[in-house]
Structures are given as structure tokens and as C-alpha cells.
Structure 1
Amino acid sequence: MVNFQGNETVRMEAFSDGVFAIDITLLTFQLKAPSLRAATSSHSLAMALFDQWPNYIAYFVSFTTIFIIWLNHHRMYNVIQQSDSRFMFYNGLLLLLVSIVPFTTSLLADYINTPAHQLSSVLYMLLFAGISWTLLIMWNYATDNYRLLKRPAADVRIQTVRTSHLISTVTYVLAAGLSLLVPFLSILVGLAMVVYLSRLKYHREKVI
């Protein structure tokens, strides 16, 4: 018999929030001040700051994407009442993948303007594809026969959310393939997914 634990959702969300907060904090480490040797005047400092544009792009894309992932994670938990061991492991897998984002962000920032830009962009987009896929797995498990949902579960937009996570997963995979041809275009696709997922609603009446 499966042991459902209603109080575990609060602890899981609190722990997840901590992981998301740490990941966003780690992203700021990509933003470093130019060395004193590279900036000996206001003009040279301005040029040195401009030369770090890959760091700014990688930081902005990663920050906004992690924020939207956290937002949808929060929205999901607002319609979920219970948890079990399997769902907790799925949540752990999500946090594992999210914790890798600072690393792939560093790869993208360091290599996006080099001949190795293709691989760094592919790994970056594939990671987000994996995160979207994990959110899809979590949602499918929680909504299967209304397993973990609050009542009345009929007000939850089950199929809409499922379709949106599936679309985001496929889109990130396609963006990874696009990275082999036009890396910068794949980044624009990633930003478009941020806008798309920000509009996703989990409940028919409530704006969560």
C-alpha cells in the first residue's frame, strides 16, 4: 500500500526553493570584474566589460530560465496535495538537473565565441530539454488517475500542462540540433521558451 504524505509537499517545496536559490546565486559567479591589468582607464574598463558579453548573455538566459522553471514548479505544487516516495525521487532528479545549469552556463559563456561553440550550446539546450522532460514525468505521475492532486481535481488543466511540457521538451531538443548550425539562434529559441512557459496556467480559475 502506497503511503501518501500530505505534509511532505511543504518540505519538498521548501527544499526545492533552497536549491533554486543556490543555483541562481551560483550564476552570479559568471559575472566577474575585469582584472586591473586589463582595465587601466575608464575607456579600457568599458572595452573590457564589453568583451565579456558572452557572460551577460549566458547569465540572462540561464537566470530567466531557472526562474520560469521555479515558477512552474511552484504552480505544480499549488495543485498537488500529496506526495509519495516515487514522486520525491522525480523531484530529486529535477533538482539534480537544475543544479547542473551553472556548469553549462559557464561552458556557454566561455566557448560561445570560440570554435567549440557548437558543443557548448548543444549541452546547454539538452540540459533544459532534460529538465522539461522531468517536469513532464512529474506531472504525468501526479495527475495519473488524479493520484496526487487536490480536490476538486477537475479544475486542474491536466492536458494543457502536459502538452506544454511536451512541446517545451521537443523544442529544446530541436534547439540543441539547431545549435550545430546557428548557436545564437538556438539561444533566441531558449528565450522564446521562457516567454511560452511563463504563460502556462495549471488551474482553470486561479491565476497561480
Structure 2
Amino acid sequence: MAQKQQHTADSDKHPKQDFQVERLAFFSDAIFAIAITLLIIEFKIPHITKETTFDNAWEQLVELKYNFFALLLSFFLIVTYWMRHHFLFKHIHNYNKQIVIANMAMLLPIIFFPFTTAFFAESVDNKNVVILAFRFFLLNHILAGVAIYTLYWLAIVKHKEYSFEMTLEERKKFTSDLLFTTIIFSIIFLVTFLTNNVQTVLLVFLVCGLSKKIFDTFVKKNNQKSVII
């Protein structure tokens, strides 16, 4: 009986269905790759002449310290979003218009990362602008988190027939990681409206990052205990 149902499902399958799903994933991968590559565009190499000394060149490189920090942070976060997207498409085997739109909506905040990263890096030395730039940076990540959760909910929860079933452990880890990170960015975003002190905001950022690490460790230990039981 099960074989007959499988045969019926296969016969109803569009001949290009798998290709179209892969096409959607490949297009998304290209957007992620371009966004990561564009992070380096704002970097200007030191202006070197025959008179340039080692100290001059080093000073110019040191001036890029905030750009390097913003690039590494955004690179790590974009890769994290790509890994979540990659994980989803490991399960998605079909799609509808809602899923396609949700996937495109998720790519929108991704293409803004090079802009918000550069804006934040260039504003660090300006106390009047840095908070505004940091808000755009945080808002960018909040929207990315909401968008990828929407894609997850549509493809895995609402339209279960379009995806292979996730285990309960996989769903818990995916949703807890994503929601916890998005909530952290949202909290920090709200804090920027309560204070213009950059040190305070960065302290909250570090505390939230530490709490995320503690949360991950707790969840991992809890899952290990469940397996033993």
C-alpha cells in the first residue's frame, strides 16, 4: 500500500520540480556569496608611494580597524544565515508562490548587509552618528531573522507537504537559535533609544552574546540528558 502511494506521488510530480527547487536554492546561494564579497569593497588599500615608510603604511592599516571588525562580524552573521537557509533547503523538496516570495523577502535584508556594515564602520569615530548607524545594522539583522523564520514557518510548518519532516530536536534547535538571536538584536536595538552612550550599548551587546553562549551550552547539555534518558 505504501509503495503504491509512493508511486502515485512520484507520478504526480512535475518532471522539473527537483530542478526548480535547486534553482531557487542556487539563486539564493549566489545572493549570499555576492553579499559576503561586497563586504570587502569599502576597504581601500594603503596609499603607497616611494616615500611611504613602514610606519605610514601601518598607520593606514590601523585606521581600518573598525572596518575589519564590522566585516568579520557581518561575515560571521551572513554565514550563519546561509547555514540556516541551507538547512531549510535540505528539507524543502517543493514550493508554492508563498514560499518563493518568502525566500525572496529573506534575501532582501541580506543584500543590505554590505551597506549597513560600511555605514557602521565609517561612523564609529563620530559619536553623533554611530548610534544611528548601529541601529541600521541591528535592524538589518532583526529583519533577516524574522524573514528566515517566516520562510521556515511557511515551508516546514504551514505547508508540510512541501518539505521532508524535521525531527523534534532539529526544529527546537533551529527555532530556539534563530528566535534567541533575533530577540537579542531587538533588545540591543531598543537599548540604543534609551542611551547614546556607545560603551553602554557595546556592553549590552557583549552581555547578550555571552548569554547566547550560555544558552547554547545549556540546550546542548539538556539534549544530551534527554538522549541518555
What TM bracket, shorter-length normalisation? 0.7 to 0.9
Aligned match of 1:148: 162
Matched, 1:135 2:153: no
Q: Percent identity?
A: 21
Bigger Rg, which one: 2
TM-score when scaled to structure 1?
0.81
Cα displacement (A) at 1:12: 0.7
Report SS of the residue matched to 2:44: coil
**Counterpart selection for 2:91 from 75, 79, 86:** 79
**Counterpart selection for 1:165 from 166, 169, 178:** 178
Matched, 1:33 2:51: no
Matched, 1:57 2:75: no
Report SS of the residue matched to 2:70: helix
Aligned match of 1:67: 79
Cα displacement (A) at 1:163: 3.1
Instruction: Tell me the number of residue pairs that the alignment of Structure 1 and Structure 2 aligns.
Output: 197
- What are the superposed Cα offsets for residues 61-104 of structure 1, whole Å, 9 maximum, x if unpaired? 11111111111110111012111111110110111110000000
Cα displacement (A) at 1:56: 0.5
Aligned match of 2:134: 121
Point out the structure with the larger helix share. 2
Give the AA of the match of 1:23: A
| Highest RCO, 1 vs 2 (Cα 8 Å, sep ≥ 6) | 1
RMSD, matched Cα: 3.1
TM-score when scaled to structure 2?
0.74
Cα displacement (A) at 1:52: 1.4
Report SS of the residue matched to 1:98: helix
Report SS of the residue matched to 1:79: coil
Cα displacement (A) at 1:175: 2.1
Cα displacement (A) at 1:8: 2.5
Matched, 1:98 2:98: no
- What are the superposed Cα offsets for residues 27-81 of structure 1, whole Å, 9 maximum, x if unpaired? 11122212347x8210111112112111111111111111111111101110121
CA contact (8 A) 2:180 2:212 kept: no
Cα displacement (A) at 1:165: 2.0
Alpha-carbon separation, structure 1, partners of 2:152 and 2:57: 48
- What are the superposed Cα offsets for residues 139-194 of structure 1, whole Å, 9 maximum, x if unpaired? 111122524221xx253533442233222221111122344443434654786699
Alpha-carbon separation, structure 2, partners of 1:30 and 1:189: 29
CA contact (8 A) 1:141 1:147 kept: no
Q: Extract unaligned runs of 5+ from structure 2.
A: 1-12, 224-229
Give the AA of the match of 2:119: L
